[in-house]
Chain A
Amino acid sequence: MRVLSYLVYIALLLPIVFVLGASLTAGGYIRFPPDGLSFRWYVAMWNDPDMMKGLVISFNIALITTGVSVVIGTMAALYLFRLNARYRQIMASLFLSPLSVPMVLTGFAMLVLFTQFGLVNVTGLVISHVVVTVPYMLRTVMTSLSLTDPFVPRAAAILGAGPWRVFWHVTMPILKPGMLAGAMFTFLASFNNITISVFISSPGASPLPVVIFNRMENLAEPSAAAAATAVILLTAVGILVLERHFSLFKSLLGSTR
C-alpha cells in the first residue's frame, strides 16, 4: 500500500522533473537527460514576442476572471444559503451545471456565440473562463458557509450591528477561507486553461497555453519547456506563500465534502 502510494507520488512529480530538465538543455532540441546545461532557452523565451505576449495575456485574463468569479460566486453562495433546503438543492445544481457539460462542447458553444457578437478576443476569453470557474468558487464558498453557525451573523445584527457592519466584520471573515481557496483555484484554472481557450483565441490574442499548444504540432523547441518551467515555478511559489498565510489546503480538502 505504502510503496504503491509513493510510486504514484513519484509518477505525479515525474513530468515536472522532465520539463525542468529539458528546459535546461544546451542542445538544439528537446532531450532528457539534457545535452549539457544552459539557460539559452530561457533567453530565447524572453526574446520570443509571442510567448511573452501570451504570458501577459494569460496573467491578465486570470486576474480579471478571478476578480469577477470571486464577486459573482460569493454573491451566488450567499443567495443560495438564504433559500430553503429544497430550492437550494435545485438552484445549486443549476448553478453547478457548467461542470457537467463536456468542456469541448462548452468551448465550441462559446465559439458559436462569440463569432456572432465579435467577441472572439480577450473579453470573450474572460467571459468563458468566468462561466467555467464560477461553479468552483461557489462550491468552496458554500463549504465555508456550511461549516459555520448560520446564526452568528444574525446574532451580530441583534446586538446592534448594521447590515454593512455585519457583512464586513462577521460574514466576510467566515467566507474568507472559501473565497481564498476558490480564488486560487480559479486563477490557476484560468491561467492554465486550454480546452476553452483554444476555441476562442485569435492570432492577436492567444494565452500562453494556446501559444505553446500551437507550437507543439512539430515537437517544440526547448523554449516551450522553459516557458512551462517558468509557469510551474511561479505557480508553486504563489501556492506556498498562500499556504503559509492561510493554510489553504485545509479549506481545499474541505471543499470536496
Chain B
Amino acid sequence: MILLLGLFFAVPLLMAFSFAFRPFDAKTLVGEDLTLQNFGRFLFDGFYLTAFVRTTLISLSVTILSVVLGYPVAWHLRSVQSSRLRTWLVLVVLMPLMLSLVIASFAWMIILGSNGVLANLIASVTLLQQPLRLLNTDLGIVIVTVYSFMSYSVLSIYAALENIDPSLARAASIHGANDRQVFLHVIWPLSIPGVVSGALVVFALSMAAFVVPYLIGGGRVKVIPLLIYNFTIQLFDWPGAAALSLLLFLLTLVLTWLIATLGSRLARWEAE
C-alpha cells in the first residue's frame, strides 16, 4: 500500500509540481531551467484571476445548494418508516454516483438545451418572453454539479442525524420544547459536523470539476480545472498546467480549512 501510493501517487504529484517551476519550451515542451514565471503568468493576469474567482463562486454556490437541498432529503430518509421504501430512496440518492459524469452531463444537456423541457417550463411559469438560457451558463454548471455531488452531502448529513441519540430530542420535548425548538436547539447543533463534512467533500470536488464545465459550459465558461485540462491536452503546455494545478490545490486547501474552521466555530457557538 505504501509502495503503491509512494510510487504511483506521491512521485507523479511531485513530478507534476516540479514542472511548475520549469519554463515552457515549444520544442521539448518542458525546459530545463528553474523559473517562477509560470506563476507570474497566472497571478498577474486578470483573465486567470477572474477564472479563479469564478471557480470559487461556482463551487460555493454548489456547496450551499447541496446542503440546503440535502438536509431535507436526509431528514426525510431518516423519517421513512418502511425499510423497503428507504432502500429504494437511498438507491435514488446514490444514483448520481453510479452514473458516469459524462452520461449525467449528456442527459442534462438534453434537459437544459435551448429547446429543452426545463427552459420551456421556466419560461411558461415566469412568463418570460424568451426561454431562459441554461446551457453554456454558470447557472447550468451549478445545477449539474449539484446533481452530481449532492449524494455526498445527503449521506454525510444522514449519518450525522442517525448518530444523534433520539432520547435527547425526547427529553427536550418532555421538558416542553415544541418541534421547532427541538430542531433548532437540539438536532441542528448536533448535526453541524455532518453538514460541514458533507459540505467540505462537495466543495473540494466542485473546485476540481472540469467535465461538467466542459460539457455543460460548452467550453465558454472558463473555470480553472477546465483551463488545466486545456493546457494539458490541447496546448501541451505542461508547465502552465502544473502551475495552475498547484495554485488551485493551494486555494482549495486554504478555502476548505476556512470552511472547516467556520463550521466548528458555528458548532461551538450553537452549543453555547
Contacts and interface: CB of A to CB of B under 8 A. Distances in A.
24 contacts: A5-B72, A5-B77, A8-B69, A15-B147, A18-B107, A72-B1, A76-B1, A79-B1, A98-B5, A105-B228, A108-B242, A112-B238, A127-B8, A194-B100, A198-B229, A212-B103, A216-B215, A224-B106, A225-B106, A228-B107, A239-B98, A243-B87, A253-B159, A257-B162
Given A108-B245, A192-B98, A195-B210, A2 B76 contact: yes
B1 A249 contact: no
Interface residues of B, number: 70
Nearest to A22: B110
Contacts of B91: 239, 243, 249
A1 interface: yes
B15 interface: yes
Contacts of A30: 110
B150 to A, nearest CB: 8
Contact of A15 (B13, B19, B76, B104): B104
Contacts of A231: 100, 103
Contacts of B215: 213, 216
A105 B16 contact: yes
A97 B4 CA distance: 13
Interface stretch (A45-53, A128-136, A154-162): A128-136
Contact of B211 (A2, A188, A195): A195
A195 B159 contact: no
Contacts of B69: 4, 8
B108 interface: yes
A112 B19 contact: yes
A110 interface: yes
A235 B107 contact: no
Contacts of A90: none
A152 interface: no
Nearest to A76: B1
Interface in A238-257: 239, 243, 249, 252-253, 256-257
Interface string B234-260: 000010011001001100100000000
A108 B232 contact: yes
A133 to B, nearest CB: 12
B102 A18 contact: no
B245 A104 contact: yes
Contact of A249 (B8, B11, B87, B106): B87
A252 B153 CA distance: 14
A98 B9 contact: yes
B13 A105 contact: yes
A102 B8 CA distance: 15
Interface in B129-156: 147, 150, 155-156
Chain A CB count within 10 A is highest, among B15, B100, B155, B204, for B100
Nearest to B107: A15
Contacts of A209: 100-103
Nearest to A9: B92
Interface of A: 1-2, 4-5, 8-9, 11-16, 18-19, 22, 30, 32, 72, 75-76, 79, 94-95, 97-98, 100-106, 108-113, 116, 127-128, 130-131, 134, 188, 191-195, 198-199, 209, 212-213, 216, 219-220, 224-225, 228, 231-232, 235-236, 239, 243, 249, 252-253, 256-257
B262 to A, nearest CB: 18
A95 B9 CA distance: 11
Contacts of B92: 9, 12-13
A102 B4 contact: no
Contacts of A199: 232-233
A256 B157 CA distance: 10
B95 interface: yes
Nearest to A224: B106
Given A109-B15, A113-B12, A32 B106 contact: no
A212 B93 contact: no
A75 B8 CA distance: 18
Contacts of A253: 90, 155, 158-159
A20 to B, nearest CB: 9
B102 A103 contact: no
Interface in B66-83: 69, 72-73, 75-77
A231 B90 CA distance: 20
B5 A97 contact: yes
Given A108-B241, A212-B100, A213-B211, 20 more contacts: A1-B76, A5-B73, A9-B93, A12-B92, A15-B111, A97-B9, A98-B9, A101-B249, A104-B229, A105-B208, A108-B232, A109-B13, A112-B16, A116-B15, A194-B211, A199-B233, A228-B106, A239-B98, A256-B155, A257-B159
